[in-house]
Amino acid sequence: MTIHADTLFPAAPIIKEIGRGKHGARSMGRDDARELYRAMLDGRVGELELGGILLALRIKGESVQELAGFLDAAEASFAPLNAPVGPYAPVCLPSYNGARKMANLTPLLALLLAREGVPVLVHGVATDTGRVTSAEVFAALGVAQAADHADAEQALAQGKVALITIDVLAPKLAYLLSLRRRLGVRNSTHTLVKIMQPFAGPALRLVSYTHPEYLELLGEYFTTAALPERGDAFLMRGTEGETVANANKAQQIDWFHGGLRSTLVPKQTQVGELPVLPAERDAETTAGWIRAVLAGEVPVPPSIAEQVAQCLLVSRTLRSRQRIQEPIV
């Protein structure tokens, strides 16, 4: 895309503030961050300036207000999805990491929730070198990727898991994600896709973090800056970056709702008898094991069963809360 000089976003003043290193940089407010990220998504930031911004934020780290402004622009950059009316609010499962050592059980979590009648959206990447993605496991299970938003909404209406890749769900975000291959490092967009809420109405977001500093950052975001009308969120340390509970040892799960933070699942400090898990981490083996679990031939790992139970409880609570707030016509 050709960018004309008179349409370029004036990025130099912002780079001057955020590009002074981890200790000397100053953060943007929410409004400035929203306008900057909107320009980045629209291709109105020159390549040189875009690289400088992404690397400056990588070194400085995002503030809560920057993260909030970026997310405002990110969610406004694509058409939201509509969830079917029912007893449960939709559940969003971002899947951008995949598995390197353990089997990727995000598809199991999604299918267990859908079996209970929850509208489940899994969004993420189709492939990732050296990792087994959820999309690859779903393909082995015979679950097709949505071709467009309407296709995803149809799957939800039919009680199926809606699987959509980021390039179909939000193409502008997908482009910024793809810059990792050119720059060699992740950028703010990798955090945004894990916390965004793709539905028009309230939904439950399952959010994971990998680095400890993001526990503090995301915790502050969800208690002070998240828009309450977007729904609730669960936050936990990722299982190799994925939002499914570790089958061997449960992580702590915190529930963010209306500016409050509640611990739903405490961190497991002792390991009991280990569950039966896939022998290998490849997509076909993982899919076969998931089929066995769904058929009742293999028990659901207790930590994942607990995660499902908490999702059902909060999803139903969120939907009931929404009904109370809906105007009477």
* β 203-209/162-165 pair status: unpaired
Tell me the C-alpha distance between 208 and 134, whole Å. Answer: 15
Structural domain of 48: 5-76
Which of 78, 65, 79 lies closest to 34, judged by CA?
65
- What six digits make up the tokens of 264? 């739903």
Tell me which amino acid residue 310 is.
Q
So what's the pLDDT on residue 31? 97
Q: Are residues 43 and 165 in the same domain?
A: no
Question: Residue 200 domain-assigned?
Answer: yes
Residues 298 and 216 in one domain: yes
Classify residue 190 as exposed, middle or buried by CB count within 10 Å of its CB (0-12, 13-18, 19+): middle
SS3 (DSSP) at 194: helix
Give yes or no: residues 268 and 142 share one domain: yes
Between helix 30-41 and helix 64-76 the angle, nearest 10°, is 40
Q: What pLDDT, on a 0 to 100 scale, did the predictor assign at position 3?
A: 44
Instruction: Mark whether 197 and 252 lie in a shared domain.
Output: yes
3-state secondary structure of 242: strand
Rounded average pLDDT per 10-residue block, the chain, 329 residues: 64 95 92 98 96 96 97 98 97 95 96 98 95 98 98 98 98 96 94 98 96 93 96 96 93 96 87 82 97 97 96 96 64
Buried b / exposed e across 286-311, counting CB within 10 Å, b at 16+?
bbebbbebeeeebebbebbebbbebb
User: Using an 8 Å Cβ cutoff, are 197 and 90 in contact?
Assistant: no
83 within some domain: no
User: Do 134 and 229 lie in a common domain?
Assistant: yes
- Assess if residue 159 is contained within a domain: yes
Q: Are residues 217 and 284 in the same domain?
A: yes
Looking up residue 318, the CATH number of its domain turns out to be: 3.40.1030.10
pLDDT of residue 249: 87
Q: Does residue 224 share a domain with residue 164?
A: yes
**Token pair recorded at residue 134:** 């959820």
Q: H or E segment at 224?
A: none
Q: What is the pLDDT of residue 218?
A: 97
Last residue of a domain, one of 49, 76, 103: 76
Could you report the per-residue pLDDT of 249-269, keeping only the tens digit for each?
889 999 999 999 999 999 887
What's the CATH number where 17 sits?
Answer: 1.20.970.10
H or E, element range at 237: strand 231-237
pLDDT in tens, 70-108: 999 999 999 999 999 999 999 999 999 999 999 999 999
Based on the domain organization, do 72 and 217 belong to the same domain? no
Strand order in the sheet with 253-257: 162-165, 120-124, 91-95, 203-209, 231-237, 253-257, 260-265
Amino acid (one-letter) located at 206: L
Rounded to 10 deg, the angle between the 171-178 and 30-41 helix axes is 90
Residues 201 and 67 grouped into a single domain: no
Q: Could you give the angle at which helices 106-115 and 283-294 cross, rounded to 10 degrees?
A: 30
Contact 66, 28 (CB under 8 A): yes
Cα 129 → chain centroid: 20
> Residue 84 domain-assigned?
no
Q: Is there a contact between 53 and 90 (Cβ–Cβ < 8 Å)?
A: no
Distance (Å, whole) CA 201 – CA 307 = 23
Domain-embedded: residue 81: no
pTM: 0.94
pLDDT of residue 6: 58
